[in-house]
């Protein structure tokens, strides 16, 4: 994301920097033995840059040990799943629990639709007419803080409300539609998602309100044209934004029960062992979502800065560097996941197709992406709540904008969220494997390669979220 | 399973109810017992029960190994945290 929006990274970095330096105590060491605690404690100190204030006793460990512990926690959780062998128990845990009746649902959804369209108009108007400074402009804050940090979090923590809120869907529903046959599956969404993230990283779309409005207007044009030509299928298949929320919605505890149209409630993440992905392009989209969350964090680290400087000194044009790394990283992620799926097939000595395995295991990656998103944005969201309130209530001439300071322990939340996402992913893979294979030992063996990929990914994510913030270079 | 012996290379055991193919006869027996429980013949039920007993045994073996790995992991990290020089 643009310069200003790199704040989430800055928040995390600031938190690491503010932690205390103290000698390890016996208690600290004993705690360190308990892996989870160790990771959180180590996480808050791994990337410290010196102490301010001497509060809290924490264990000082080198980076490699911190990362290894994170990977170890996920690996240990995989070993622990071997003891959850009762198929009935696994199935019961994942069964939907309740159906909730919502009174006045028609009226409520009409109100939410109207609200969505009004917010879109508000953002466009304030982006053009409001102050130039991004941290005082309500349009910028509503888009990045309320919507991209807050609403996205609500999609995986509560449920996907985007089909209701989506102003473009509401607008398209009152426009005529040609309902032409649509046959590209999710590929346009994959390209669209990579394209939007590239734009967000290389352009000042997060710091320049007018540019932000220009991007929103262009997106509106494409989306409304697509919906008018192909009908509502556009939002289910081709629109990258709708698909992001749809994908995160699979993680959520609340969901739209398609059998009776009511709202179902389930344990968070337990929807991910359903066959929610239909084809290879759906898998490609899930992997793209996971990759862009990492890419977004990666380009705001110092090692990336060094790498970019070296590459550009060697003659790589900066305009090429970012898209090339975006695409290369995506291909690497896709390849790693494909190896995990086909390796699982081989370890399980199964006759199931590797693409079936890929489709069934890919939803577990959504838990990881959600955990990573929360790690990256929760602090940013909480900090900026006052700024949003001040600017939204007086968008054209907002008063003094402040931030809520975050407590020191907040950095542990990021590490905890990353770990929780990966632990959930291991559990989902376990439940899926039990559904796929008749032998439970075979089911466990099928997860070897996927678990290895998840452990590698845990360590990468922890490394990224604990890097101090460095402005994205050459953009 | 660790002592995996493939029956005959390339042999396929196909479920008569749903046509799903398996590389091992006991996996087919397990599959029939899990997914077609209501339709089983007495012989198929007996085959399922036998396969399940064998599976249970293999699972127990695996769990011992997993437990050993967990112990190694736990104490490995304990030692690392205790002896690694603090920064």
Task: Determine contact: A34 vs chain B, CB below 8 A.
Answer: no
Chain A contact set for B74 (CB, 8 A): 33, 35, 76
pTM (two decimals): 0.86
Task: Determine contact: B5 vs chain A, CB below 8 A.
Answer: no
Confidence at residue B28, expressed as pLDDT on a 0 to 100 scale: 93
Confidence at residue A444, expressed as pLDDT on a 0 to 100 scale: 95
pLDDT < 50 stretches in chain A:
1-59
d(CA A6, CA A95): 40
Phi/psi of residue A417, nearest 5 degrees: -70, -40
CB-CB contact of A475 with A201 (8 Å): yes
Confidence at residue A259, expressed as pLDDT on a 0 to 100 scale: 67
Q: C-alpha angle A277/A291/A255, rounded to 5°? A: 40
Q: What is the residue whose two structure tokens read 């009511």?
A: A262
* SS3 state of residue A114: helix
Contact B86 A68 (CB under 8 A): no
Task: Determine contact: A24 vs chain B, CB below 8 A.
Answer: yes
* SS3 state of residue A311: helix
d(CA A194, CA A186): 13
Confidence at residue A390, expressed as pLDDT on a 0 to 100 scale: 93
Nearest CA distance, A293 vs chain B (angstrom): 30
Burial A148-184 (b: 16+ CB within 10 A, else e): bbbbbbbbbeebbbbbbbbbbbbbbeeeeeeeeebee
Checking DSSP bridges between strand A98-100 and strand B13-14, what pairing results, if any? unpaired
Task: Determine contact: A349 vs chain B, CB below 8 A.
Answer: yes
Cβ neighbours of residue A56 under 8 Å, at least 6 residues apart? A19, A20, A22, A408, A409
List the alpha helices (DSSP H) in chain B: 25-35, 42-83
Q: Which two tokens stand for residue A249?
A: 């919605």
Confidence at residue A156, expressed as pLDDT on a 0 to 100 scale: 96
pLDDT (tens digit, 0 to 9) for every residue of chain B, 87 residues total? 333 444 445 678 999 889 899 999 999 999 999 999 888 999 999 999 999 999 999 999 999 999 999 999 999 999 998 888 665
Confidence at residue A318, expressed as pLDDT on a 0 to 100 scale: 81
* SS3 state of residue B14: strand
Q: What is the residue whose two structure tokens read 């590929």?
A: A187
Q: Which two tokens stand for residue A227?
A: 């919906």
Q: What is the residue whose two structure tokens read 């749809």?
A: A246
């Amino acid at each position: 994301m643009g310069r200003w929006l790199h704040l989430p990274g800055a928040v995390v970095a600031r938190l690491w920097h503010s932690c205390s330096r103290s000698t390890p105590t016996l208690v600290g060491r004993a705690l360190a033995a308990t892996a989870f605690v160790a990771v959180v404690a180590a996480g808050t100190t791994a990337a410290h840059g010196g102490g301010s204030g001497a509060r809290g006793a924490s264990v000082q460990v080198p980076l490699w040990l911190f990362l290894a512990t994170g990977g170890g926690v996920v690996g240990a959780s995989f070993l622990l799943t071997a003891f959850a062998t009762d198929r009935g128990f696994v199935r019961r845990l994942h069964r939907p629990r309740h159906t909730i009746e919502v009174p006045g649902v028609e009226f409520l959804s009409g109100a939410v639709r109207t609200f969505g369209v009004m917010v879109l108009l508000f953002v466009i108007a304030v982006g053009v007419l409001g102050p130039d400074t991004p941290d005082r402009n309500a349009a910028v804050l509503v888009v990045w803080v309320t919507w991209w940090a807050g609403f996205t979090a609500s999609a995986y923590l509560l449920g996907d409300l985007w089909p209701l809120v989506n102003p473009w869907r509401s607008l398209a529903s009152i426009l005529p539609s040609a309902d032409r046959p649509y046959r590209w599956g999710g590929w346009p969404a994959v390209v669209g998602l990579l394209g939007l993230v590239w734009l967000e990283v290389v352009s000042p779309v997060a710091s320049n309100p007018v540019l932000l409005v220009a991007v929103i207007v262009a997106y509106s044009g494409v989306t409304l044209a697509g919906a008018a030509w192909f009908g509502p299928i556009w939002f289910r298949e081709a629109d990258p934004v709708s698909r992001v929320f749809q994908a995160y919605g699979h993680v959520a505890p609340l969901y739209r029960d398609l059998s009776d149209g009511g709202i179902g409630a389930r344990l968070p993440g337990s929807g991910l062992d359903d066959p929610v992905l239909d084809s290879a392009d759906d898998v490609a989209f899930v992997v793209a979502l996971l990759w862009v969350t990492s890419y977004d964090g990666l380009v705001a680290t110092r090692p990336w800065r060094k790498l970019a400087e070296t590459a550009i000194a060697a003659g790589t044009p900066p305009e090429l560097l970012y898209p090339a790394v975006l695409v290369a990283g995506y291909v690497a992620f896709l390849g790693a996941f494909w190896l995990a799926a086909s390796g699982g097939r081989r370890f399980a000595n199964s006759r199931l197709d590797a693409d079936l395995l890929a489709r069934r295991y890919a939803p577990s990656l959504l838990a990881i992406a959600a955990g990573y998103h929360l790690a990256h944005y929760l602090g940013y969201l909480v900090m900026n709540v006052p700024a949003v309130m001040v600017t939204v209530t007086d968008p054209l001439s907002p008063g003094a904008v402040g931030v809520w300071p975050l407590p020191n322990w907040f950095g542990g939340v990021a590490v905890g969220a990353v770990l929780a996402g990966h632990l959930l992913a291991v559990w989902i893979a376990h439940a899926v494997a039990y559904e796929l294979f008749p032998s439970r030992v075979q089911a466990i063996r099928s997860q070897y390669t996927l678990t290895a990929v998840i452990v590698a990914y845990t360590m990468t994510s922890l490394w990224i979220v604990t890097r101090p913030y460095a402005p994205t270079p050459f953009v | 399973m660790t002592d995996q012996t493939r029956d005959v290379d390339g042999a396929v055991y196909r479920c008569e109810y749903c046509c799903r193919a398996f590389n091992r006869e006991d996996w087919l027996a397990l599959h029939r017992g899990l997914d077609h429980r209501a339709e089983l013949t007495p012989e198929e039920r007996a085959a399922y029960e036998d396969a399940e007993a064998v599976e249970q045994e293999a699972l127990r073996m695996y769990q011992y190994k997993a437990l050993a790995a967990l112990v190694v992991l736990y104490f490995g990290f304990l030692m690392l945290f205790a002896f690694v020089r603090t920064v």
